[in-house]
Amino acid sequence: MCVVDHQAFDSREAFDAAMAEAIDSFAPDLVVLAGFMRILSDAFVQHFAGRIINIHPSLLPSFPGLHTHRRALEEGVRVHGCTVHFVTPALDHGPIIVQAAVPVLDGDDESSLAARVLAQEHQVYPLAVRWFVEGRLQLVDGKVVLKAAQESANALISPLLQFAQ
């Protein structure tokens, strides 16, 4: 394990360089951001291009940034959800790997909506990691292609595959 304290650095770029060096010492195939609420420098993102993913609590490209559940409720959307995507220098706009949607129910507040979205995050994030590790994700013209037959069903997960595959 390794900890890189951002407070020990004078700039975001210096912190990101130290963090990249620490990550590289483990030689990972994939960098998975989980709860990392800092904007990464372009140099850091480019260093790990095509092998760094994040999850965002909205159906991107809708509601990038913060306060996604509040914004979804304020806009009156009927469907909300989460997106796993490759990280690019553009905040919350990388190629989409998988999305899961939940209905926005009458009477929802931020808390109830966030709880339903979080339950889906716990399903699709491990799925995206699995697909990456199995070599099933391919970036083609800035979009993700999943190397597998996709099934048609009445679910709001796309691309849809059985979790047991």
Residues acting as catalytic residues: 56
- Do 31 and 49 form a contact (C-beta atoms < 8 A)? no
| Token digits of residue 84 | 């796993």
- Do 107 and 67 form a contact (C-beta atoms < 8 A)? no
Q: Write out the E strands in the chain.
A: 31-32, 52-56, 79-86, 96-103, 137-140, 143-146, 157-158
3-state helix, strand, coil in the chain (%, to 5): 35, 20, 45
Q: Which of 82, 86, 128 is nearest to 101 (CA)?
A: 82
- Return d(Cα 45, Cα 86) in angstroms, integer: 10
